[in-house]
Amino acid sequence: MTQAALEEFVGRGFEYGNVNHVAAKAGVTKATVYRLYGSKENLFKVAIRSAIERSRLSHWKIDSDLDLEVVLRDAAVRISHAYTSGLIWPLWHSVLAVKRRFPDFYEEVLAIVRSESNAAALAKFLEDLRQRGLVDVDDPWAVAHHFSLLVGQGRELGLPAGHDAQMEADRVAGIVKMFVLALRPAAQGPTAQ
């Protein structure tokens, strides 16, 4: 049923996604969907959690002893995969579209994305480094979120149509370098090139 919900909500968004269609795709009745999930909102949350899980490639736990640049490069690969997989972002944008009409639902989905996404794992890593004085950052979640947006959605704005893999690799390497330089405490200075 999760796959059917994912397909329906990715294709039609939250507002236009139809529980009848999900039930038909899953080969069950609409009553069964409501008995199992309780509401369209709960079914959507299951779908977005599934999309997040798929985008992680695997359970990502960052060793806080790893070098910042190594972690940011790995995070960029994972975040790029999440954006190009075509699942999370259509779901998230469909929630943004109904934010004013369903503010509580928006907040619930936002909490899921903030706690379970690749950016959340990166934010935890940055918080650990911040507490140890290894990065200069006031809000690890905001930094991880901005990094995620630049890596993922920045592709659409930062590259010409028909770009090749090398152009994408160079763009991401530039983002990683920018964040490494910005996050390193002034006393540490830039890394040797």
Give the model confidence (pLDDT) of 83-101 as tens digits. 776 788 788 889 999 999 9
Structure token digits, residue 175: 């983002």
Contact indicator for 6, 50 with CB cutoff of 8 Å:
yes
Q: What is the pTM of this model?
A: 0.74
d(CA 12, CA 158): 28
For the chain, the domains span 58-183
Question: Is 24's pLDDT higher than 50?
Answer: yes
- H helices within the chain, ranges in order? 2-16, 19-26, 30-37, 40-55, 68-84, 88-97, 103-116, 118-131, 140-152, 154-158, 165-183
Question: Is 81's pLDDT higher than 90?
Answer: no
